[in-house]
């Protein structure tokens, strides 16, 4: 049986522009980090783990889709993704909510920057 919500989400993703997809990934990454931190705070480390694993998958996807030769800042962003992935693994293995929060704090301005860039591109 088809779930209408899943069908809507699938349609949204398949029809989104590359800039919108990037924003969607960052939004989901932030949501995963927020949920993981809340669960870690509550001592529910096993329940936090899937959110941290999903966050790691998103970071790997962002990293693998990065075209380092296209723009000047790509190498620095690549280094950030590498660092972020390592920290997400550490947050999960060590059950460390502070590391999860620091990852969230690192991702938030990146998400805002990509959101602003997507809006600017849509207005052009």
Task: Using the predicted structure, report yes or no on whether residue 101 has a pLDDT greater than 60.
Answer: yes
Task: Using the predicted structure, report yes or no on whether residue 9 has a pLDDT greater than 80.
Answer: no
Instruction: Dig out the tokens for 87 from the structure.
Output: 């920290």
Instruction: Spell out the residues 6+ positions from residue 49 whose beta carbon is closer than 8 angstroms to its own.
Output: 36, 92
pLDDT of residue 15: 59
Q: Rounded to 10 degrees, what is the CA torsion of 76, 77, 82, 83?
A: 80
Task: Using the predicted structure, report yes or no on whether residue 8 has a pLDDT greater than 80.
Answer: no
* pTM to 2 decimal places: 0.86
Assigned superfamily of 18-123: Flagellar protein FliS (1.20.120.340)
Task: Using the predicted structure, report yes or no on whether residue 17 has a pLDDT greater than 70.
Answer: yes
Instruction: Dig out the tokens for 112 from the structure.
Output: 């805002």
Instruction: Dig out the tokens for 53 from the structure.
Output: 């694993």
Question: Residue 66 phi/psi, 5° resolution?
Answer: -70, 125
DSSP at 71: S
Instruction: Spell out the residues 6+ positions from residue 48 whose beta carbon is closer than 8 angstroms to its own.
Output: 35, 36, 37, 39, 40, 92, 95, 100
How confident is the model over 19-71, as pLDDT tens digits?
A: 899 999 999 999 999 999 999 999 999 999 999 999 999 999 999 999 989 88
Q: Where are the domains of the chain?
A: 18-123
pLDDT of residue 12: 55
CA 115 to centroid of chain Cα atoms: 13
């Amino acid at each position: 049986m088809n779930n209408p919500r899943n069908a809507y989400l699938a349609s949204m993703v398949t029809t989104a522009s590359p800039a919108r997809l990037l924003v969607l990934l960052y939004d989901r990454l932030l949501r995963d980090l927020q949920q993981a931190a809340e669960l870690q705070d509550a001592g529910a480390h096993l329940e936090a783990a899937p959110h941290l694993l999903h966050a790691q998958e998103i970071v790997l996807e962002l990293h693998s889709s990065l075209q380092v030769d296209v723009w000047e800042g790509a190498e620095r962003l690549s280094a950030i993704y590498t660092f972020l992935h390592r920290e997400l693994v550490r947050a999960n293995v060590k059950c460390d909510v502070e590391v999860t929060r620091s990852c969230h704090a690192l991702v938030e301005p990146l998400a805002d920057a990509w959101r602003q860039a997507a809006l600017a591109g849509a207005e052009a």
